[in-house]
Amino acid sequence: MTTPADRDDDTETPYRAVRLERPETVRIVAVDRPRPGAGEVLVRVAYAGICGSDVDLVRGTRPATYSRYPVVPGHEWSGTVVAVGSGVDSGLVGRSVVAEGFRSCQSCAACRRGEPTVCQSAYDETGFTQDGAWADWLRVPARLLHVLPPGSDLRSAAGLEPAACAAEACLRVDVRQGDRVAVVGGGTLGLLATQLLRAHSPGELVVVDPDATRVDLAFACGADRLVAPDDVEELAGTFDAVVEAAGRTGTAAAAVRLARRGGRVVLTGIPDDEDVVSSRALVTGQLTLHTVFGAPARAWVHAVRAFAVGTLVPGRIVTHEFVLEQVDEALRTVSDPAAGAVKVLLRP
């Protein structure tokens, strides 16, 4: 049995969704509003983000293990619960929420260790193997929800999924007050990580990015300065902690070069197969190296709490918004370097 939220949520009203039938085949479709099953909620989507992995899914370049067609993309989103299925607290109706995307088995060794992003069962994630948020409505397991404070800015909250990934990187790299910190990459993950790292009172916080036009945005996110990749050699070996958030060939190696001996490095980007990092540099520098693939619950909690108290404002990096029917233009904007896009949102 479902619990309706309010009178305007007619269960018979068709809704819009962006359906990816197969690679390079995107359509706006009208289908009946979904009904939440046992343990599920139905969310009215407020905003949904587009990231590089979505572009890979559309192009067909995302590995087959991590994709399914047809599917409604959209793993970054915010919205309001409008109905709940059996076994779910009806008090969630009307609450602003975001949710984790990984639908892990909850029973394997990895899940029981609190590492659902490396679940030993088959990969399953909202927006990639399960219908996502490029739609008017979204059905998700209630156990994955994170409830936001009343009156939260849902436009900004749509960035909490990438912020949770950035939060896991920040938790792993363990920045302490006074540390010199570098963030390699001034895109979505890098700028969200910069906001979270600023809250730890680093002695210096530097963003490395080739796009000099992002300097004001980097400052707004808490950076002390923005430097070009050409400056990496001059700064080599001087940072206590380094977060790599670019995922380009050579950026992981640059992050390792920036770290001082005994320093800490975390890699979040997924570059091409031919990318390499020197094990010699890791060993002789006695570096601690971490990697991040997605965000476990602890990172979501960290990001949502930072959002609630205002130290994390994902809305700062939103550069473009489009309605669902403009999805083709939105995807072109994400892929066009000349557009200057950082975070692009769809607005159902």
**Mean pLDDT for each 10-residue chunk of the chain (348 residues)?**
41 81 96 93 98 96 95 98 98 98 96 94 97 97 98 98 98 97 98 98 98 97 97 96 96 98 96 90 97 96 98 98 97 95 96
Per-residue pLDDT at 12: 55
Per-residue pLDDT at 31: 85
Per-residue pLDDT at 3: 37
Per-residue pLDDT at 8: 43
Per-residue pLDDT at 207: 98
Per-residue pLDDT at 274: 85
Per-residue pLDDT at 13: 61
Whole-prediction pTM: 0.94
- What is the homologous superfamily of the domain 3-158+313-347 according to CATH? Medium-chain alcohol dehydrogenases, catalytic domain (3.90.180.10)
Per-residue pLDDT at 32: 87
Considering only CA atoms, which of 39, 33, 52, 53 is closest in space to residue 128?
53
How far the first Cα of the chain sits from its last, in Å, is 26
Are the beta carbons of 152 and 35 closer than 8 angstroms? no
Considering only CA atoms, which of 106, 105, 129 is closest in space to residue 53?
129
For residue 221, what are the CA distances in angstroms to 183, 312, 316?
Answer: 12, 9, 8
Give dist(CA 146, CA 300) in Å, integer.
Answer: 8
Where are the chain's structural domains? Answer: 3-158+313-347, 166-291
163-175 per-residue burial string, b: 16 or more CB within 10 A, e: under 16: bbbbbbbbbbbeb
Per-residue pLDDT at 5: 40
For residue 20, what are the CA distances in angstroms to 74, 88, 168, 283, 336?
Answer: 11, 30, 30, 45, 20
CATH of domain 166-291: 3.40.50.720
